[in-house]
Structure 1
Amino acid sequence: MKKNWMSLLLASIPMAILPSSIALAASTTVGGNTPLSIERMYASPALAGTSPRGLKLSPNGKLVTYLAGRKDDQHLYDLWQMDVASGKQSVLLSADKLVAGELSDEEKARRERQRIYGQGIMEYFWADDSEAMLIPASGQLYYFSVKTNQVKLLNTGEGFVTDARLSPKGHLVSFVREQNLYVLDLKTERITALTTDGGGAIKNAMAEFVAQEEMGRMTGYWWAPDESAIAYTRIDESGVEQVTRNEIYADGIKLTEQRYPYAGKNNVKIALGVVTLNDKNVAWVDLGDNTDIYLPRVKWLPDSQHLSYQWQTRDQQSLDLRVVAIDDIKHSQNVVQERSQAWVNLNDDLHFLKQQEAFIWASERDGFNHLYLMGLNGKVIRQLTKGEWAVDSVEFVDEKAGQVYFTGRKTTVTEKQLYRVALAGGKVEPVSSRAGMHSTVFADNQPVYLDYFSSLSQPPQVSLHNESGKRLAWVEQNEVKKGHPLYDYFGLWQLPEFGELAAEDGQALQYRLFKPTNFDASKKYPVVVRVYGGPHAQLVVNSWSHQDYFTQHLLQQGFIVYQLDNRGSAHRGTKFEYVIYKQLGEAEVNDQKVGVDYLRSLPFVDGDNIAIYGHSYGGYMALMSLFKAPDYFKAAISGAPVTDWSLYDTHYTERYLSHPETNAKGYEASSVLPYVKGYQSGLLMYHGMADDNVLFENSTRVYKALQDEGKLFQMIDYPGSKHSMRGEKVRVHLYRSLADFLVRELK
């Protein structure tokens, strides 16, 4: 794709009154015309080409490092390097040099919640001197000398190691083993247990289930910058309901004991301690008398003498940023208070400055997520960004130059761009320019960054840029040309039309519409509405996604594919999100009906043959749409759906539905089960039988309710599969089944 091609195209097309529609293109202009089979979608080599992950710049800025899957096995990762000066790329460390082995059940669950899948080298940590790395693999730790190219297996004692990392100055390695926190001195190889009471219901330095799954907090400990101490959580799960969950595999049933915090039930009790390394003494932060709270974020201040933590009420309508001095740990200062009549969204955009007593804070207090410069007393010095658009995240703070680099949706909500703004205030300046999605990784101490870019017409590319956005070098250009895995199929690749509709309250709903291959405006086509529909997510974007492979397959089979981000979706401000508070599946379904009304107004749409398909919250939406609006949808595919919100966890469910005791009617109205009687025909459900996120019981309850009503439907359940339905064989079978169902129901 030529630079600025898409933005020039958009600029040349006038915007229309609602509903508006912008066509990116009917199809790409280069590539072969081989139809995309389901068997090819997830086979090796990866269809999207080389797509590095784990991108980092070495602390000295001389190397770009990344993980890349092999051509013959895209799920087996090696560690690669690119010399910044020469541009030369090579394998830095082959996964073959590490001992393959099993992960602990705890680490498997943690990786599932991190959405990390694969084998070989999956993560690594640079030493501060850029001469070595720590590499966790198969429950063990390896120390890799970049200088000598030697790998050493560290002695961490008996048992599986998890959540390992290098200390800030690289002298020590920390890790969790058997629910206790340890440090290993790299010079003496001595191991020290910093906690000893972990075991059973007590977990030290570990993130609880909802912290990992719902808060985006994957760890339970934090190093002081000067290596003098570690802050850590101690969680007591004894009050959390212990359930025996059946994980059904092809060769038997595994009974798993799990403490699962169902909505309305007990959470863990959490404590925050600071252990000093020289004497192993632990001091406990006074979190207050209310113990039914969340601790979503912890962060040290640069001086290593003060610790910040974010304290959240169970109803998530209050979030406090508190700071405590280590030498007066019982007395916290409440620095920032965020309040909402619905809920306060979490973010990771707290950045303490080193050159002044201030910090950067992200808040939705004006209705959109924006950045504020605040003093340590909590007073706003100035608002750095403002307007009816949202900041995604802070990427880098250059105190020397007085600049804050951040990603956001200022240009359009369907794209993520990199911007910068002065700490002193002023105009927001664009840094990136290409139309699409930009995710960045900055160097530690200078505004040089890696840009992970993709668009609907460009699989992920990685390039190195300077502070003004100028490209310095390609890390992976990933051009779709002859020899690229996608090339033979790219001539049939379809790009969508983007448009906008009005919801019942007048708010703008974004959609994208993919027309079939070899589209003929004189014909009528069946439609598959692909939906997620839940909060903190967005489908209508100009971005590459492997989820779109099945979309392209459907287009080649003569279907239209349509996606609309209903109210409650992300990046459009709190007014757009908060509509769903205390009742799910109402505004969202109404918005999807608005989309169908628009589809039926198009002369090339077969309005009697429209199906809806989604997974997870999208599976919930598919059921609610089919049951509540059977005159809009002829068929539905529901994958791994939540069907009764009392079966889901506290932090997610109560954020949107409040506590069951105070919103019983909302829980009932948000459940799928009261609407089963509205079902007529045309339902396929599937679920992984070892799903530990959306429990399999969610689907079996609907199975039973439909059977009791004498309603005919289809189901496919996958032994051993988790929520994400991983594995090439599983996915091939799943998508073949879905395609067959859609052909039978709509054609």
Structure 2
Amino acid sequence: MALSLRFLILTLLASLTGFAQSDLSVQKIMRDPNWMGTFPSAVEWSEQSNVIYFDYNPEKNVSDSLYKVRLNNTSAIKKVSLEKKAMVSPYGDYNDKRTQKLLTKSGDLYLHDVKKNKTELVLDLGENIQSPKFISDFEYAFISNNDLYVYNVDLGQIHKKTNIESGSSNDKESKKSEKNQWIEDENLSLLEEVRTQKETSELRDKNRELLTDDEYTFYLDKQHAFNFNISETGNFLTFQTYTPDSPENTIVPNYVDASGYTEPLNTRSKVGDQTAQRDLYLYHIQKDTVFKIDVSSLPGITDLPGYTEDYPDREWEEKQRAVSFSDVEFSSNDQHAVVSIRAQDNKDRWIALLNLNDGSLEVLDRQHDEAWIAGPGIGSYYGGGTLGWLADDQHVYYQSEATGYSHLYLHNVENNTQKQLTKGDYEVFSPQLSNDKKSWYFTSSEVHPGERHFYKMPVMGGKATQLTSMEGKNSVILSPDEKQMAIVYSNSNSPEELYLKKTKANAEAKQLTDGQSEAFEAYNWRTPELIQFEAEDGAQPYARLYKPEESVDKGAAVIFVHGAGYLQNAHKWWSSYFREYMFHNLLTDLGYTVLDIDYRGSAGYGRDWRTGIYRHMGGKDLSDQVDGANYLVENHGVNPDKIGIYGGSYGGFITLMGMFNEPDTFAAGAALRSVTDWAHYNHGYTSNILNEPHLDPIAYRQSSPIYFAEGLEGYLLIAHGIIDTNVHFQDVVRLSQRLIELEKENWELAVYPIEGHGFTQPSSWTDEYRRILKLFEETIGR
């Protein structure tokens, strides 16, 4: 009874520095991360491959600054001026020889000379220029105001190749009423500046019409155009459209706004509010016409998802599903074009040839998944993913999870054959063609699921040469001339540092930065043991294990549940959960065994692992935590009555499911920024895993903690930021009301008025983790 009373009061601990068992404290761990040192990020090469730029903060300023290191003097790291920063590695389009680059800045067109490292203004139209592209060495194409233009440098002439206008043709013919025309005329006669602006606009429209090669006009009606792709010769243009919708957005109240008033924050809608249908169009310049791409012939486009079989009493209509499109990729000779098309329910992805003569589609590959299509290089609901052409203009490349792991494929469009280039129980990340188009560079997990290495492989497949060797994560930024690799490297107990290595397997990697502070280095950070244990269904989850010294071992354990669901944390590199990593060192010093599991749904282990939670979050992902607890009891002397669990976001959700559904396993839990009812989360994430709540209520009811709150028996801490625009504070308010109605006692809610989903203030981090430690010390730690 006394223990329950102490827990319910939940007052702050004055300080944790008094724990003689550890040199760490919550207050020390949760300070501004600058105390740990400074570590490189946002690494880029100069166009000349002789300078590496990166963000760094040795001066402990509020934010990072830009620094550089030259290859001819790698011991000298120098700060770069803000003026220089604006000119570093701008995005753009290279010419064939990679000696020049077209780019835009502030809506104007510029040409960058790579060798001279000079950038010159080409065009200032007074209107925004985007998507610049070399058509030839003397012709530059670009988009402005939804239209394609080509600028001939030699002639100094601009040609408008398309005519895409908002509204409909009827809008152009309609006349104002006599009353409205009188009001406009009177307004223009009174206001000189307004009249001048109108005249300037009309003159600009007239000049634009003079630039147009033809009279054909494509009207968007009520649609908005976006994502323009210009073909290699400039003879074709593709663009996408959408019709703006009005989803029911939610409100998050900010109670501590600077104004002193409660200010509403407009945030996302809830799952089930679909994004508008997207359409793809092909503008054939020479035929002077536009084709709308018809997707009705895609195989399986009207298929019903498998979960509908669980609702036999409902009538299901077979209808064409809404789709989204990737960028259109043109072959170098404009003979072919390819596009990736996704059903918006993400259960199908088609790689299809786009016929440039009539806009018809020819499917090269269909990937279907009764759960959802995802994985490295495969893109998402919004497009993207690996897609393009080899230099021979016959082979399309893309990635697919057809074997259960994301691998690189080629498809010969001449004879309609497919070739798998990489094979095995591992994943491939970020493949890119070499400058000469004869090789691939990519990262993979072939050595170990918890390592990342960089490889080079012949373009048509074959033996891949491993170019990195340091155990951990090697994030490689290849120099433009491909002779050097800048490597951002880390291991389990050391944060990221910058290395330089020649692009050869047997070359030596040279460390360029050493950013750890003396205070951080003073503690002997643990390298957690990377283990596997057997789950109830025979699977073998990976986990990080922290073991205390026998002399301080409490026989108690804490299981940490990482967030995001699809994320990997049981690996050999520095964790993005660095605060939690340090907290686990503190817990271990205090005598706790800590286990950090890559449960079902985590990234890095292929399709079956990723989709193991389909239609039941809190199923296998929760049973993996229970099996991990049993593993600790059976193998590491942990008392089955002294096991706690905690995590944030998805980890907080699993914590709630564990406390409600597995009370015999978990005696205490801390659920941070937790989803409590998936019907109130966003569409893009949730609909993949659980479909939509009105269509698949079974999935939502068995996956949402609020339906299982009556199962709470142990001690529960709930912590949440009030201005969380990701997982809304409403989630824990509703759960709190449910717990009150159920007359549950051993729970507490800690609120953070100025924090969102990711805390920013050290004081908030400190308060939260003091409470978590207090919870474990006063329950399982006794």
Whichever residue aligns with residue 272 of structure 2, its letter is G
State whether residues 45 and 74 of structure 1, in contact with CA within 8 Å, keep that contact through their aligned partners in structure 2.
no
Question: Per-residue deviation at 1:594?
Answer: 0.6
| Unaligned residue ranges in structure 1 (runs of 5+) | 1-32, 99-119, 206-219
Structure 2: distance between partners of 1:294 and 1:674? 33
Structure 1 residues 247 and 440: CA distance shift in structure 2, 3 A: farther
What are the superposed Cα offsets for residues 633-677 of structure 1, whole Å, 9 maximum, x if unpaired? Answer: 122222222222222233322322234355322221111111100
Matched, 1:319 2:344: no
What's 1:125 paired with? 91
Aligned in 2, Cα 1:473/1:94: closer, same or farther, shift over 3 Å? farther
Which residue does the alignment assign to 1:391? 427
**Equivalent residue number for residue 537 of structure 2:** 505
Give the secondary structure class of the aligned counterpart of 1:454. strand
Distance 1:275 1:67 in 2: 42
Cα contact 2:242–2:277 (8 A) shared by 1: yes
Q: Is the partner of 2:642 in helix, strand or coil?
A: strand
Distance in 2, matches of 1:245 and 1:433, equals 50
Counterparts of 1:257 and 1:467, CA distance in 2: 49
Deviation readout 1:273-311 (Å, 9 max, x if unpaired): 457999999764334497742425324224273543222
Give yes or no for the alignment of 1:67 onto 2:75: no
- TM-score, normalised to structure 2, is 0.73
CA 1:522–1:303: 2 relative to 1, 3 Å: same
In 1, Cα distance between the equivalents of 2:669 and 2:104?
44
Letter of the 2:757 partner, please give it: H
1:96 Cα deviation (Å)?
Answer: 7.7
Where does residue 573 of structure 2 map in the other structure?
543
C-alpha distance in structure 1 between counterparts of 2:274 and 2:82, whole Å: 42
Q: 1:363-512, aligned counterparts within 5 Å?
A: 363-376=400-413, 379-387=416-424, 389-398=425-434, 400=436, 402-444=438-480, 446=482, 448-471=484-507, 474=510, 477-479=512-514, 484-485=516-517, 488-512=520-544
Task: Give the whole-Å Cα distance in 2 for the aligned partners of 1:333 and 1:632.
Answer: 54
Does residue 84 (structure 1) correspond to residue 84 (structure 2)? The answer is: no
Distance 1:263 1:612 in 2: 28
Asked whether the 8 Å contact 1:248–1:689 carries over to 2, the reply is yes
When residues 685 and 376 of structure 1 are mapped into structure 2, their CA distance, relative to the original with a 3 A threshold, is farther
Aligned equivalents of 2:525, 2:739: Cα separation in 1: 39
Tell me the TM-score normalized by structure 1: 0.76
CA distance in 2, matches of 1:342, 1:745: 40
Superposition RMSD in Å: 4.4
Higher relative contact order (CA 8 A, sep 6+): 1
The structure-2 alpha-carbon separation of the partners of 1:165 and 1:574, relative to structure 1 and needing over 3 Å to count, comes to same
Q: Secondary structure at the match of 1:590?
A: helix
Contact 1:372 1:383 in 2 (8 A): yes
* Alpha-carbon spacing, 1:702–1:744, altered in 2? closer, same or farther (3 Å): same
1:285 corresponds, among 280, 293, 316, to 293
Q: Check whether the contact 2:575–2:581 (CA below 8 A) recurs between aligned residues.
A: no
* Alignment match, 2:46: 58
Q: Secondary structure at the match of 2:490?
A: strand
SS at the partner of 1:670? coil
Checking the alignment, whether the CA contact within 8 Å between 1:420 and 1:430 is kept in structure 2 is yes
Runs (5+) with no aligned partner, structure 2 = 1-21, 168-219, 298-318, 379-384
Q: What CA deviation, in whole Å up to 9, does each residue of 1:54-90 have, x standing for no partner?
A: x223344333233334532263333x33333443755
2:627 partner SS: helix
Which residue of the partner structure matches residue 10 of structure 1? Answer: none
Contact 1:46–1:74 at 8 Å: present in 2 too?
Answer: no
2:547, 2:159 → 1: CA distance? 61
**Offset of residue 197 of structure 1:** 4.4
**1: distance between equivalents of 2:144 and 2:617?**
38
What's the secondary structure of 2:613's corresponding residue?
Answer: coil
Residue of structure 1 in register with 2:373 after alignment: 344
Counting matched residue pairs gives 662
1:366: Cα distance to partner?
Answer: 1.8
- Report if aligned partners of 1:464, 1:471 keep a CA contact under 8 Å in 2: no
**Alpha carbons of 1:488 and 1:263: their partners in 2 closer, same or farther (altered >3 Å)?**
closer
Deviation at 1:622, TM superposition (A): 0.9
Question: What is the percentage of aligned positions where both structures have the same residue?
Answer: 21
Q: In structure 2, give the amino acid aligned to 1:685.
A: I
Alignment of 1:156-175 (within 5 A): none
Amino acid of the residue matched to residue 65 of structure 1?
A: Y
| Aligned counterpart, 2:254 | 248
Displacement of 1:141: 12
1:511 deviates by: 1.3
Aligned ranges for residues 475-624 of structure 1 at < 5 Å?
477-479=512-514, 484-485=516-517, 488-516=520-548, 519-520=549-550, 523-532=553-562, 535-557=565-587, 558=590, 559-624=592-657
